[in-house]
Amino acid sequence: MSRVAKSPVVIPQGVEVTLQAEKISVKGTGGTLSQAQNALVTVVNDNGKLTFVPANESREANAMSGTMRQLVNNMVVGVSKGFEKKLTLIGVGYKAAAQGAKLNLAVGYSHPVNIDMPAGITVATPAPTEIVIKGADRQRVGQIAAEIRAVRPPEPYKGKGIRYADEKITIKETKKK
């Protein structure tokens, strides 16, 4: 059995998990998330602990049990605590401004870049060069952060661009004669 699937998912206080034949729904203070149920994995709710058991002895069922366990764990953590990604803007004149569900970026182009946030994702700019993306769905938070970073990825010579707060950029040496 998968090592990840061996540890159960503990359901915290205030989080409600609904197991159905085709999907798993998790409801909490952060909202409601659902995941399609996989036929290779059997999910059992045992007094506030979810256990994930492969339906058969195949390698795919073993792998999917760990995958399903982690996806459901991410949903439980998301609706209870939430996830966040921090981005930093490096460059002269680079700035970001959050206006409701929109993010306005001035990152060296001749025009400002406007990005609309989907439902369930909030964006904040505590400083003009910092962006904080928050939400309950870990995959969507990471995807939105990657799309914002892709507007102006960090370049290798000066390090200018949009980068994750914990990202290290290796600066290349310029060409010498």
Task: Say if CB 96 and CB 114 are below 8 A apart.
Answer: no
Coil, strand or helix at 142: helix
Fold of 83-164: Outer Surface Protein A; domain 3 (3.90.930)
pTM of the model: 0.89
| 38: its two tokens | 């996989």
DSSP element (H, E) containing 65? helix 59-80
Tokens at residue 129, please?
Answer: 């060069």
Question: What is the CATH architecture of 3-80?
Answer: Alpha-Beta Complex (3.90)
> Residues 156-174: pLDDT tens digits?
999 999 999 999 999 999 8
Structure tokens at 160: 């200018």
User: What was the pLDDT predicted at 1?
Assistant: 63
Percentage of the residues of the chain whose pLDDT score is greater than 90: 86
b/e map 113-125, b = 16+ CB within 10 Å? eebebeebbebeb
Q: How far apart (Å, rounded) are the C-alpha atoms in residues 149 and 85?
A: 11
Query: Does the CA dihedral 82-142-165-147 come out positive or negative?
Result: negative
Read off the pLDDT of residues 105-152 as tens digits, 9 standing for 90 and up. 999 999 999 999 999 999 999 999 999 999 999 999 999 999 999 999
Residue 27 neighbours by CB distance under 10 Å: 16
Domain ranges of the chain: 3-80, 83-164
> Using the 8-state DSSP alphabet, how is residue 149 labeled?
H
